[in-house]
Amino acid sequence: MNAAKVVEDLKQRFPNEPEYIQAVSQVLPTIEEEYNKHPEFEKANLIERLCIPDRVCEFRITWVDDQGKVQTNMGYRIQHNNAIGPYKGGLRYHKSVNLGILKFLAFEQTFKNSLTTLPMGGAKGGSDFSPRGKSDAEVMRFCQAFMNELYRVIGPDEDVPAGDIGVGGREVGYLFGQYKKLTHQFQGVLTGKGLSFGGSLIRPEATGYGTVYFLTSMLATRGIELKGKKVLISGSGNVAQYAAEKCLQLGAIPMTLSDSDGYIYDPDGIDFDKLAYVKELKNVERGRIKEYAEEYPNAVYHAGERPWHEKADIALPCATQNEINGEQAQALVDNGVIAVAEGANMPSLPEAIKIFQDNKLLYAPGKASNAGGVSVSGLEMSQNSERLSWTAKEVDDYLKRIMNDIHENCVKYGTQADGYINYVKGANVAGFMKVASAMMAQGIV
C-alpha cells in the first residue's frame, strides 16, 4: 500500500467530503508499515474495502412543527464495517451534519470499536436537524419521523445506534418508542436507553469517565498523578460534564467549559456544586454556558472563543471535531500543558497533532481515549441480550478494565525507539489489525 496514493484516489472519488478525507489521511500513513508486512492484504485489496463504507443510507425526513408548518431534513446512516460484529455507532442531530462528516465518524468508529475488544462493527448516522430551541413535542415528532425510515436498516444483530451530539436520553427514548411501535418488538436496538426500559448504569457517564481513566493511564507512564492538576475542558454536554466529574473525584481541578457560543474560565475551579448547576442548566433548562458567569461572578465568559489559551496542566477537548488548530496547540504547549486526551471525535487538526507529538506531549486520539462510551454501549447490549441489569460497580469495573486494555494495546504498537509513546499510531495499528484479520478470514464479501 502507498498511503498517499490511496488518499489521493479517495479525494478524486469523494471530492466534497473533507472531514472523511482528513480522517483517512490521518490513519493510513500510521498503518502503512504494518499493512505492508502482509502481502495477502494487498492481494485482497483490503485497504480500499476498509476505507469505503459497506452501505450508505440517505433519506428525507418530513415532520410538522408546533406552528403546523411542514419541515424537511435529511437523515443518514453510514454502515461502515461489520467484520467483527453488528454495526454500532451514534446518531448525531446538528445543523453541521452531512455525508462527509458522518463517513469520517463511521470510519473512526470502526477502529474505536475494534479497540474495545467487544464484538462491534462501525457505523454512524444522524440528521441536520437541531434540537436547540425546539419543544419536547417537536423533538418527539422529528424522532418518530426519523425512525420511520431508520428502522428498516437497524436491529439488535444488524445495527445498534446510540446517542451522540444532540441525541441524549430524551431523543433515544422517543426513537426507541417509535421503533417498538413500528416493529412490535422490544429489543436492545438502541443503547443509551433509560434505566426503566433496558438502559445501563454508567452509560451516561461512560465517555467522560473513560477519557479520564485513559488519561490517568497515560500520566502513569511518566509517574505523574492527576490529583491537583488544572484541567481545560471544552464542551458542556454529556462528555464534558462527566469528564469534569471524574476529574473532581480524582482530585483534579476543571477550569473551563464551553458551548458553540463561547467558553467560561473559573479561576476558583469548577467544584461539584458548580458542576451540578451546569448539569441543570444544560440538561434541563437547555441554557447557554454564558449563564454560568452570571451565576458565579468570579468566572469570566469569552464569547466566540475556545479555552485553549488558558494556563493549565491538562487539556480535554470534549466538544466537536476540528476545535484545536496549530496556533491553539502551540498555546497549550507554551502554557505548560503536559497531556491532551480527546473526549470528542477528531477535535485536533493535523497540524495540532504534529505540535503535540513534536513536543512529546502525552496525546491520546479520540478513537482510544473516548472509547468508553461505545464500550458501555456494548455492555448495555450484553445486558439486554441476557435480560439482566448489572450494578454500577460492575459496569464501572468493566469500563476501567477496557480502557486499561486499550491503553496497553496503544503502548504495544505505539512505543518508539526513544521510548515516546505515539498513541495515534498505536491505536490505529491495534484497531486495524483486528478488523483486517476478521475481513481476511471471511473472504471477499
Residues that are catalytic: 124
Helix-helix angle 350-358:18-35, to 10 degrees: 40
Residue ranges in 16-76 assigned as alpha helix (H): 18-35, 39-43, 46-51
- Three cell numbers at 103? 463517513
Residues 253 and 314: beta-carbon distance below 8 Å: no
Closest alpha carbon to 91 in 32, 14, 169 = 169
Closest alpha carbon to 434 in 111, 128, 198, 166 = 111
Which is it for strands 70-81 and 122-127: parallel, antiparallel or unpaired? Answer: antiparallel
Residues 70 and 62: beta-carbon distance below 8 Å: yes
In angstroms, the CA 432 to CA 37 distance is: 13
Q: Roughly how many angstroms between the first and final C-alpha of the chain, as a whole number?
A: 20
Q: Other CB atoms closer than 10 Å to residue 100's CB: what's the count? A: 18
Question: Cell match 464542551: residue?
Answer: 235
Which residues participate in the annotated binding site for substrate? 88, 109, 112, 163, 377
Radius of gyration of the chain (CA): 21
Which residues participate in the annotated binding site? 88, 109, 112, 163, 207, 238, 377
Which residues participate in the annotated binding site for NAD(+)? 207, 238
In angstroms, the CA 298 to CA 276 distance is: 17
Q: Is residue 297 classed as helix, strand or coil in its secondary structure?
A: coil
| CA dihedral of 191, 193, 197, 201, whole degrees rounded to 10 | 90
In angstroms, the CA 197 to CA 124 distance is: 23
In angstroms, the CA 412 to CA 415 distance is: 6
